[in-house]
Amino acid sequence: MTYSEEKKSGVVCFEEVNQIGILTIDNGSQNKIPQPDFLDLSFLKEWISEQRLKGLIITGKGRHFSAGADVDNIRANKDNPGYLREALKKGRDILNYIESLPIITVAAISGICFGAGLEIALSCQFRIGTANALLAFPESNIGIMPGLTGTIRLSRIVGKSKALEIIITGRTINGEESYSLGLVDKIVPNKTHLSAAVQFINELTKNKSHQQIRSIIQSVNKSAVEKDAIAMEYESEMFLKLVENI
């Protein structure tokens, strides 16, 4: 296999292996997301433009995908809504860019995938999880809600009523249930999530041209992205109102 030189922006490492980009969240044992704009979007766009990728994988270093946002940082900035609003917009822009990419995108999930981590995973077209994967939006347990497009993308994938139940209760969903809900597309043995994601992309793109893949994905993406823009703005405003009281 041919590996490119590893690069880093924010808490994410960038690497290319045989026309597959791998973004690895690397921030301590739980890979927490310190702020919504967890990487430099201009850096990501430049890196993507330099590659000829057929797919992109987002994963976490070590045992966990990501334990989610750094709540202490949110509390520290709750009296500065202007900063939080701008950070949320930048975070949304990152996830919207990932969702709009005209290549196959896969979140390779192991262990904990909570809050902002789950929102990042939901921006991918597919999610592959290990048997020990645990997914949740625990924000309601501290009096807030997802603020990085989680309410929109989760309801789009599992339906409105199930999304409401998952977000309001803040309960943890194991690998088996996440698969039955369609939240995860495939469950694989522990420690095989990254290799399974690579294999999945290779199988899906086999004997397909870059132009064919791009055309199909762009057509599928178009309506969803345009329809959700207003809802994403509203989610951010509701998030900021709740942050005032934590």
Q: What contacts 192, CB < 8 A, 6 or more positions away?
A: 130
Rounded to whole angstroms, what are the CA distances from 42 to 31, 39, 46, 159? 22, 9, 6, 33
Q: What is the pLDDT of residues 120-129, one digit of tens each?
A: 999 999 999 9
Q: Where does residue 183 rank: exposed (0-12), middle (13-18), buried (19+ CB within 10 A)?
A: buried
Question: For strand 20-25 and strand 12-17, is the pairing parallel, antiparallel, or unpaired?
Answer: antiparallel
- Residue 228 is predicted with a pLDDT of 75
- List the domains of the chain with CATH numbers: 7-205 (3.90.226.10)
3 state DSSP class of 170: coil
- Residue 3 is predicted with a pLDDT of 62
Token representation of residue 86: 């701008």
- Considering the candidates 139, 165, 233, 235, report the single residue annotated as catalytic: 139
Question: Annotated catalytic, 50?
Answer: no
Confidence band, pLDDT 50/70/90 cuts, at residue 2: low
- Considering the candidates 15, 46, 50, 119, report the single residue annotated as catalytic: 119
Rounded to whole angstroms, what are the CA distances from 240 to 85, 144, 165, 229? 7, 9, 21, 17
Provide, rounded to the nearest whole percent, the portion of the chain with pLDDT above 70: 97
Q: What is the pLDDT of residues 140-166, one digit of tens each?
A: 999 999 999 999 999 999 999 999 999
Q: What is the pLDDT of residues 199-215, one digit of tens each?
A: 999 999 999 998 999 99
Token representation of residue 93: 């822009």
Question: Annotated catalytic, 139?
Answer: yes
- Residue 147 is predicted with a pLDDT of 94
CA 120 to CA 89: how far, in whole Å?
A: 14
Rounded to whole angstroms, what are the CA distances from 157 to 152, 182, 244? 9, 7, 30
CA 129 to CA 37: how far, in whole Å?
A: 24
Q: What is the pLDDT of residues 212-242, one digit of tens each?
A: 999 999 888 876 666 677 888 889 999 999 9
